[in-house]
Amino acid sequence: MKQKIAVFASGAGSNAQKIIDHFRASEIAEISLIACNKPGAGVLTIAEQEQIEQVLIEREQYKKDGYAAFLKEKGINFVVLAGFLWKIPQPLIDAYPRKIVNIHPALLPAYGGKGMYGAFVHQAVIANGEKQSGITIHYVDEHYDHGDIIFQATCNIEPGDTPEQLAQKIHLLEHAHFPAVIEQVLQQH
Ligand code: GAR
C-alpha cells in the first residue's frame, strides 16, 4: 500500500511542486492532499493543475484539532510542511508522532523560532554577516523549528550577496534535497 502524504504549504509552492514531481511515479508514496491556509496562494494553483485534492485551512478548526480527524479520514499517513507558517497544534502532533517533517531555510537552531520564516530569515542572516547558511529538515514537535534534525545542507554566502540572492541559493538546496530526504524518512517507517 502506498503511503499517503499531505503537503501543508502557504506560499508559492515551489517545494510542493518538487515533491509532487518526485513522487509522481513512486511505488512507495503519493501526494494525496495539499493543505493551505492562504486563499490565492500559488500552491493551490499547483494542486489544481496536478489534480490533487486541496483543503483551505480555516483557523477555528485548525486550532481545535489541526485537521487531524480530517487527515485520518482521508487515510493520510505522513505530513510534510513545505513553507507552512502556522504552529502545529498538539492534537495534530499527537495524531502523527514523528510523521510530520518541516523544512526551514536556515541552519537550525540558528535563525529559527517565531517570526523567522521566508525572507525574514535571509535578511537576518545577511545582516549578521554570516559566511554560510543552509537548510534544515526536521521532525515537528510542539515548539517552532525545534524537533529532531534529520538533514542539513549548507551554502556559502559571498560578500555583497543580497537576501534575495541567498533565498535563491536556499531554494536550490531545498529543491535538490527535500524530496529525497522525505523518501528516506518514509522508508524507515
Ligand atoms: C521555503 O524556503 C521554506 O524553507 C520556507 O518557506 C519557503 C517556501 O517556499 N519555510 C519557512 O520559512 C518555515 N519557517 P515555496 O512556497 O516556494 O516552497
Work out which ligand 1 atom sits closest to the CA atom of 112. Answer: 14
Query: How large is the greatest C-alpha to C-alpha distance in the chain, in angstroms?
Result: 51
Contact at 8 Å (CB) between 83 and 118? Answer: yes
Range(s) of the domain holding residue 61: 3-188
Q: How far is the CA of 19 from the centre of ligand 1 (A)?
A: 13
Q: Whose CA is nearest to atom 9 of ligand 1?
A: 83
List the chain pLDDT tens, one digit each, 189 residues: 899 999 999 999 999 999 999 999 999 999 999 999 999 999 999 999 999 999 999 999 999 999 999 999 999 999 999 999 999 999 999 999 999 999 999 999 999 998 899 999 999 999 999 999 999 999 999 888 889 999 999 999 999 999 999 999 999 999 999 999 999 999 987
Q: Which residues line ligand 1 (CB under 6 A)?
A: 9, 11-16, 82-83, 85, 103-105, 117-118, 121, 170-171, 174
**pTM attached to this predicted model:** 0.97
Q: Report the CATH number at residue 62.
A: 3.40.50.170
Any catalytic annotation for residue 104?
yes
Work out which ligand 1 atom sits closest to the CA atom of 13. Answer: 16
From the list 104, 122, 138, 177, the catalytic residue is 104
- Cα separation values, 86 from 71, 81, 130, 136, 154, Å: 17, 10, 27, 17, 25
Domain count, the chain: 1
Instruction: Report CA torsion sign: 143, 180, 36, 111.
Output: positive
